[in-house]
């Protein structure tokens, strides 16, 4: 199975974490894994999980970081959510441009309400696995509290989205996955003798983004994925509606989708005072 990795790093202020202490909560519709690491004067918290609701399913990551020197105290937080809203069957105007707001031939789930089964969850040797399905869409996540090999380390969350036997209403149509990305970021720093500076990163170079890999596995074959945005939406908005469309009008029996997700913070004005780099990058193994 192909998976994607969500990497959340603070390489300037501290060392790369190799192990975290974790706790977890689970219910029939939600799993939360809450992990913490402490090294000298640095502390970080990595929280991830999945929640399945009637209207959507959400993958979430929240990273909090605190560091202290002789003269400076710094706290930062990045929260990132990716929601899967629905699948849209449509007749494309131009399949090479993906979904452009064409009228839907059908949408899934029918009636706009997902029928998620209870989340399957297990953990062993510090590796946490969770999976949800409604019979057509399957969402999978993995997290490891410590570095065990090239695949698992505590700075990554592996995700996969699968679609099987989509119930088409017509022929010659295309299929698009409708999602929503949301990022919230804050930075707080206190230097001795100066007032505390709190930066809401809404006006900084921060945004949730979805960078699609060149292809996905559709019916076992590599197929190009086209990413499109909702018309008229601001490019730097913290909340984005996005659509991901395989470039084909063939009937899709199986789809294995491996995107890149992220939220980046690169504030030159702030890093002059506090050399902080926080990045959240979802990439492919």
Cα 250 to chain centroid, rounded: 28
Q: Is the peptide bond before 109 cis (omega within 30 degrees of 0)?
A: yes
Q: Do residues 240 and 229 make contact, with C-beta atoms less than 8 angstroms apart?
A: yes
pLDDT tens digits, 249-259: 999 999 998 66
Q: Domain locations in the chain?
A: 4-284
Which band of pLDDT confidence, cut at 50, 70 and 90, is reported for residue 53? very high
Range of weakest confidence among 67-71, 128-132, 177-181, 232-236: 232-236
What is the average pLDDT across 31-35? 92
Each residue's pLDDT tens digit, 126-164:
888 899 999 999 998 888 888 766 566 676 777 788 999
C-alpha to C-alpha distance for 90 and 146, rounded to whole angstroms: 44
Q: Which residue has the higher pLDDT, 197 or 44?
A: 44
Q: For residues 196 and 81, is the Cβ–Cβ distance under 8 A?
A: no
Kindly report the pTM of this predicted structure.
0.77
Tell me which residue has tokens 């190009």.
224
Indicate the pLDDT class of residue 72, thresholds 50, 70 and 90.
confident
């Amino acid at each position: 199975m192909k998976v994607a990795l969500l990497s959340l790093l603070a390489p300037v202020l501290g060392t790369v974490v190799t192990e975290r202490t974790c706790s977890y909560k689970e219910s029939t519709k939600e799993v939360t894994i809450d992990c913490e690491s402490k090294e000298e004067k640095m502390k970080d918290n990595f929280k991830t999980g999945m929640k399945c609701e009637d209207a959507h399913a959400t993958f979430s990551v929240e990273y909090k970081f605190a560091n202290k020197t002789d003269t400076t105290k710094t706290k930062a937080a990045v929260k990132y959510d990716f929601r899967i809203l629905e699948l849209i069957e449509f007749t494309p105007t131009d399949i090479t441009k993906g979904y452009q707001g064409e009228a839907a031939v059908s949408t899934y789930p029918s009636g706009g309400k997902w029928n998620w089964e209870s989340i399957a969850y297990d953990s062993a040797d510090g590796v946490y696995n969770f999976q949800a399905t409604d019979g057509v869409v399957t969402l999978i996540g993995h997290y490891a509290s410590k570095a065990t090999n090239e695949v698992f380390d505590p700075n990554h969350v592996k995700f996969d989205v699968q679609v099987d036997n989509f119930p088409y209403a017509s022929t010659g149509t295309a299929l698009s996955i409708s999602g929503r990305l949301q990022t919230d970021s804050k930075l707080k720093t206190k230097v001795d003798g100066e007032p505390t500076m709190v930066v809401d990163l809404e006006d900084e170079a921060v945004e949730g983004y979805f960078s699609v890999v060149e292809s996905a596995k559709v019916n076992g074959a590599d197929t190009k994925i086209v990413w499109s945005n909702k018309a008229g939406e601001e490019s730097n908005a913290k909340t984005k509606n996005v659509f991901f469309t395989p470039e084909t009008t063939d009937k899709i029996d199986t789809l294995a989708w491996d995107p890149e997700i992220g939220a980046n913070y690169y504030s030159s004005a702030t890093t002059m005072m506090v050399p902080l780099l926080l990045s959240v990058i979802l990439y492919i193994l």
